[in-house]
C-alpha cells in the first residue's frame, strides 16, 4: 500500500500533476460569490443570545459567533468589517441560508441528523459543546445527579433538556419528580423559592444566570454531570464542499494558533521568526495555507492579528474577559482536558 502511494506521489511529482489538484482548485460557488460581492453575509439574531450573539453600547454586534464570522471575513476578504450581519430568528436561519440571504449560519446551532440530512445542510467541525446540566443549592450536599434521588427538578417545558434529564435520571435509576414551566423566568422563580431541589438547563445558560440573577450565587453549585454534549457547528448549504473546507480551516487555524501559542499580540513576531514548521505554515511563511483553499497565503496570520486565537475569542465573549466567566471545560483543547482538536496541518 505504502509502496503504491510512494509510487503514485513520485509519478505525480514527475508529471507535475496533482491527484488532489482537481478538487482543491475546484472553485466554491459560495466563496466565489463572497469574493465578488466583497461582503460576507453572516447570521445575527433578533435580540441577543448570551455570549454568542449580543449588541454592545455602540450598537455593534459582539459575541463568540459574531467573532467567528469576523474571523471568517478576515480570512476571505482581509478586513473584519467587510461583512453584513443579518438579524435572523431561530426559525428563519435555515430558510435564510437556503435562499442565499446568508452565506453561513454561525448561531449556536446544534448539529443534528435531521438538519444534516432532511434540511440539506452541511456542518463544520464543532467549535463548542454545551449540554444539559443541573444546578442545586450547596447545602443540599449533592455531588452528582444520583444524589438527587427522591428530589424535584424544575425545567422549562417542551425543550430537549426535559427529555435529556428524564432519560439520564432513568438510566441511573434515580427516583425524581419533574416540574415543568412555560417560561424560563417561572422556572427560575420556582427554583429560587425552593419549589424544587434542582434546576435543569443548558450549561452555559445556567452559568449566565448564576452570574447575574442570583444575589447568593456562592450558595449554588452546578453539578459536574454533563447529561448531554450538543455539538455546536457552523451550518452551510449542502453541495459546496470547498466552502465547508474554508470554514473548517478557519476554525482549525484559530485552534491551531491556540495550540502553538500564537496570539494576537505575538503573531507578527511569530511570523517573523517561526518556532516550528507548523507555525511557519499556519502564518503563511511557508506556502500551503492559502492556495489549497483559494485564499491568500497569509489569511490565518491576518485573521489572528485581527481577532486573536480561539482562546482569546472565547475569553473575550464567554470566559474571564466577559461577565459570564464560563469555564472552558469541554471546550478546551484536547491537550488541556477538553474535546476540541485540530486536523493535521501538513
Please identify, using beta-carbon distances, which residue of 98 and 332 lies nearer to another protein. 98
Task: Locate 308 and state its grid cell.
Answer: 486573536
Rounded Cα distance, 179 and 195, in Å: 9
> Which of these, 200, 231, 56, lies nearest to 134 by C-alpha position?
200
Q: How far is the CB of 254 from another protein (least distance, A)?
A: 23
In degrees and rounded to multiples of 5, residue 52 shows phi and psi of -95, -50
Span near another protein by CB under 8 A; candidates 169-177, 208-216, 230-238, 288-296 = 208-216
Binding of another protein by 158 (CB under 8 A): no
Q: How far is the CB of 130 from another protein (least distance, A)?
A: 16
In degrees and rounded to multiples of 5, residue 192 shows phi and psi of -60, -40
Q: Distances in Å between the alpha carbon of 214 and those of 74, 81, 143, 184, 221? A: 39, 37, 21, 14, 12
Please identify, using beta-carbon distances, which residue of 233 and 322 lies nearer to another protein. 322
Span near another protein by CB under 8 A; candidates 73-81, 95-103, 148-156, 304-312 = 95-103
Rounded Cα distance, 244 and 84, in Å: 20
Binding of another protein by 49 (CB under 8 A): yes
Please identify, using beta-carbon distances, which residue of 120 and 277 lies nearer to another protein. 120
In degrees and rounded to multiples of 5, residue 300 shows phi and psi of -70, -40
Binding of another protein by 54 (CB under 8 A): yes
Residue 72: its H or E element: helix 64-77
> Which of these, 342, 251, 243, 292, lies nearest to 40 by C-alpha position?
243
Which of 95, 239, 277, 337 is in the footprint of another protein by CB under 8 A? 95
Rounded Cα distance, 27 and 243, in Å: 9
Binding of another protein by 35 (CB under 8 A): no
Please identify, using beta-carbon distances, which residue of 35 and 92 lies nearer to another protein. 92
In degrees and rounded to multiples of 5, residue 105 shows phi and psi of -105, 110
Strand partners, 241: none
Which of 10, 25, 29, 60 is in the footprint of another protein by CB under 8 A? 60
Pairing of strands 230-232, 235-237: unpaired
Please identify, using beta-carbon distances, which residue of 107 and 176 lies nearer to another protein. 107
Greatest Cα pair distance, the chain, in angstroms, is 76
Which of 84, 152, 180, 264 is in the footprint of another protein by CB under 8 A? 84
Binding of another protein by 184 (CB under 8 A): no
Q: Distances in Å between the alpha carbon of 34 and those of 98, 252, 302? A: 15, 21, 18
Which of 96, 157, 174, 179 is in the footprint of another protein by CB under 8 A? 96
| DSSP secondary structure letter of residue 180 | E
Which of 35, 48, 180, 264 is in the footprint of another protein by CB under 8 A? 48
Binding mask 318-337 for another protein (x = CB under 8 A): ----xxx-------------
Binding of another protein by 298 (CB under 8 A): no
Restricting to residues 213-242, which ones interact with another protein according to CB under 8 A?
213, 215
Q: How many residues bind another protein (CB under 8 A)?
A: 38
| Site residues for another protein per CB under 8 A | 44-51, 54-61, 84-89, 91-92, 95-96, 98-101, 208, 211-213, 215, 322-324
Amino acid at each position: 500500500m505504502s509502496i503504491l502511494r510512494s509510487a503514485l506521489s513520485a509519478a505525480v511529482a514527475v508529471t507535475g500533476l496533482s491527484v488532489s489538484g482537481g478538487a482543491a482548485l475546484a472553485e466554491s460557488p459560495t466563496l466565489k460569490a463572497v469574493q465578488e460581492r466583497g461582503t460576507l453575509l453572516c447570521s445575527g439574531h433578533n435580540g441577543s443570545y448570551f455570549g454568542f450573539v449580543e449588541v454592545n453600547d455602540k450598537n455593534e454586534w459582539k459575541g463568540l459567533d459574531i467573532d467567528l464570522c469576523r474571523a471568517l471575513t478576515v480570512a476571505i476578504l482581509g478586513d473584519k468589517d467587510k461583512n453584513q450581519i443579518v438579524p435572523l430568528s431561530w426559525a428563519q436561519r435555515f430558510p435564510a441560508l437556503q435562499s442565499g440571504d446568508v452565506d453561513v449560519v454561525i448561531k449556536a446551532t446544534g448539529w443534528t441528523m435531521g438538519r444534516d440530512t432532511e434540511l440539506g445542510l452541511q456542518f463544520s467541525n464543532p467549535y463548542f459543546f454545551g449540554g444539559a446540566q443541573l444546578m442545586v443549592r450547596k447545602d443540599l450536599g449533592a455531588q452528582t445527579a444520583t444524589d438527587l434521588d427522591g428530589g424535584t427538578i424544575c425545567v422549562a417545558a417542551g425543550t430537549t433538556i426535559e427529555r435529556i434529564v428524564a432519560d439520564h435520571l432513568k438510566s441511573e435509576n434515580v427516583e425524581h419528580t419533574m416540574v415543568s414551566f412555560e417560561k424560563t423566568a417561572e422556572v427560575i422563580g420556582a427554583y429560587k423559592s425552593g419549589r424544587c431541589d434542582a434546576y435543569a438547563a443548558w450549561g452555559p445558560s445556567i452559568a449566565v444566570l448564576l452570574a447575574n440573577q442570583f444575589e447568593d450565587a456562592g450558595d449554588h453549585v452546578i453539578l459536574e454531570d454533563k447529561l448531554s454534549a450538543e455539538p455546536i457547528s457552523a451550518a452551510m448549504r449542502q453541495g459546496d464542499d470547498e466552502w465547508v473546507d474554508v470554514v473548517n480551516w478557519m476554525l482549525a487555524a484559530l485552534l491551531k494558533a491556540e495550540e502553538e501559542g500564537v496570539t494576537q499580540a505575538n503573531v507578527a513576531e511569530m511570523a517573523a521568526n517561526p518556532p516550528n514548521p507548523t507555525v511557519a505554515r499556519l502564518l503563511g511563511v511557508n506556502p500551503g495555507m492559502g492556495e489549497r483553499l483559494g485564499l491568500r497565503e497569509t489569511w490565518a496570520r491576518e485573521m489572528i492579528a485581527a481577532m486573536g486565537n480561539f482562546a482569546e475569542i472565547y475569553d473575550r465573549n464567554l470566559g474571564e474577559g466577559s461577565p459570564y466567566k464560563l469555564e472552558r471545560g469541554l471546550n478546551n483543547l484536547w491537550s488541556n482536558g477538553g474535546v476540541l482538536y485540530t486536523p493535521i496541518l501538513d
